[in-house]
Amino acid sequence: MGPMLKKILIAIALGTLTIVIAIFGFFVSTTSATEITPEGTARFDSPQATINISNSSQSYQVIWMNAIRAWNRTGVFSFSLSTSPNAQVIAGTNSGMSAKFTGLTNLTTNDQGYISHVTTNLNPKILAKYSYLPTEQTNVAEHELGHAIGLLHSANKASVMYINNRTYGIQNIDIQAVQQLYGSPLGNQAFPYQSYTFQDPFVLKVKGQPEE
């Protein structure tokens, strides 16, 4: 084999290796990106909000308080308790919502794209009917608060924002999503006033699921 042919073969081999590495890197980066919980375009103007627990049931006050503490412990968003009816987030229960759902969150944005008001409710009738444990009810409340601060549903079953979640609390992928959402400027464009509603269906308990 002549020197010239060797050089050609080496060049081809190096070129092929470069392409393989590039393709591998693309798939790795794509996979990593999709693992982060999706966030919407709406958010509060800063990673904090006042919240009023409007429910008179002591057990559901505890559920909401546990969910609030869980988000506050992440350090990426802070809820401050308020007794004002004008609090930015009103959290409670509503047994009158559709029997398909464990929770429902409605948020409204202003003309700057920032969230101006949120109403979020758990469905105690359905949570009781399908035997949600207190920890699982807290997971649902954490999920609803995730919507309240701007997170969307995740395809990752281990995310608190998985649409059929009853098993998992807040995960690192959810925390990263909030960091990303509140770390990026909205820009100067004007946004129309909008209202968003997130409905979260119940899920039957599956044997072998971790009790988290």
pLDDT tens profile 108-133:
998 888 999 999 999 999 999 999 99
Residue 209 in this model has a pLDDT that exceeds 50: no
- What architecture is domain 48-201? 3-Layer(aba) Sandwich (3.40)
Give the count of alpha carbons within 13 A of 42, CB side only. Answer: 24
How distant is the alpha carbon of residue 88 from its chain centre?
18
pLDDT the model gives residue 147: 95
Cut 0.95: pTM above it? no
- Per-residue pLDDT of 164-182, as tens digits, reads 899 999 999 999 999 999 9
- What separation in angstroms does the CA of 75 have from each of 20, 121, 145, 161, 183? 40, 24, 15, 18, 13
Give the residue extent of every domain in the chain: 48-201
| CA triple 95-99-104, angle to 5 deg | 65
